[in-house]
């Protein structure tokens, strides 16, 4: 597939170019980037919308802010950091993507991510589906009882909620308690068979943080603090992130 070349007309002033310089490691030099492509080789978003991490970085370095902000690709990056891991320069491309997202007016960011972030902020569960703590407790207890009765080999299996001083504080994908509650059970079985001391929290159990992907600093920090606060209140030693 032939891709139209990007036209560069004169020198562009770029906020992204300044960000590139700020986040290079000590002694690093963006001019040493030879577009080796290793950042793109392992990126799950490479090729989407005709973009990849290498191209994104070069566009930022060339001051093509307008073109970057108009590309849907900045919302397709998962910020998994594979590109940083393999980059010989250790350039933090996901941080650049985050900075690009933050430049977009909040109300103009993707509706799905925006709606999920705002929904999570409305409830103490941190659930992107809006599931209240009481509803979550009801679903977990109902599904647990069903499997204890239907599968005698798991009659002693537990799915504790708000257990004090458990080793692990477990989060949960928000979708599963609402649409596919049976999908929670395989992990319960694994934890049961392994003899793991764990618990959900009735609050802060939502596993996703769409506000992070929305590039809303205050919102994603609020969700993290909500979950961490519940884990600390219960005296759990380790936060086990399933997402």
CATH number of residue 89's parent domain: 1.10.1060.10
Same domain, 127 and 222: yes
pLDDT (0 to 100) of residue 151:
97
pLDDT (0 to 100) of residue 163:
98
pLDDT (0 to 100) of residue 9:
56
Same domain, 120 and 217: yes
CA–CA distance, 121 with 118 (Å, rounded to integer): 5
At 145-187, the pLDDT tens digits run 999 999 999 999 999 999 999 999 999 999 999 999 999 999 9
Same domain, 71 and 175: no
At 30-68, the pLDDT tens digits run 666 678 899 999 899 999 999 999 999 888 878 888 899
pLDDT (0 to 100) of residue 60:
82
- Burial environment of residue 223 by CB neighbours within 10 A (0 to 12, 13 to 18, 19 or more): buried
The DSSP code for 170 is E
Q: Are strands 168-170 and 238-240 parallel, antiparallel or unpaired?
A: parallel
Contact 145, 186 (CB under 8 A): no
Match 């609020």 to its residue by tokens: 222
CA–CA distance, 128 with 174 (Å, rounded to integer): 6
Last residue of a domain, one of 72, 104, 136: 104
* Residue 169 belongs to domain spanning: 111-240
Same domain, 219 and 171: yes
Same domain, 100 and 25: yes
pLDDT (0 to 100) of residue 99:
87
């Amino acid at each position: 597939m032939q891709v139209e070349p990007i036209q560069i007309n004169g020198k562009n002033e770029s906020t992204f170019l300044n960000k590139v310089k700020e986040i290079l490691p000590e002694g690093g030099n963006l001019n040493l980037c030879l577009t080796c492509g290793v950042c793109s080789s392992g990126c799950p978003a490479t090729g989407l919308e005709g973009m990849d991490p290498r191209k994104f970085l070069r566009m930022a370095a060339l001051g093509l802010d307008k073109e970057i902000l108009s590309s849907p690709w900045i919302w397709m990056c998962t910020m998994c950091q594979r590109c940083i891991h393999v980059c010989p320069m250790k350039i933090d491309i996901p941080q650049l993507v985050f900075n690009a997202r933050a430049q977009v007016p909040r109300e103009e960011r993707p509706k799905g991510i925006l709606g999920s972030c705002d929904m999570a902020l409305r409830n103490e569960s941190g659930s992107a589906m809006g599931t209240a703590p009481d509803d979550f407790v009801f679903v977990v207890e109902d599904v647990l009882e069903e499997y204890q009765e239907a599968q005698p080999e798991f009659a002693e299996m537990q799915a504790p909620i708000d257990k004090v001083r458990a080793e692990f504080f477990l989060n949960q994908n928000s979708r599963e308690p609402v649409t596919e509650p049976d999908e929670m059970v395989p992990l319960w079985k694994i934890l049961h068979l392994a003899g793991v001391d764990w618990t959900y929290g009735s609050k802060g159990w939502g596993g996703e943080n769409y506000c992070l992907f929305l590039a809303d600093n205050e919102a994603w920090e609020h969700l993290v603090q909500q979950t961490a606060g519940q884990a600390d209140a219960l005296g759990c030693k380790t936060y086990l992130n399933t997402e």
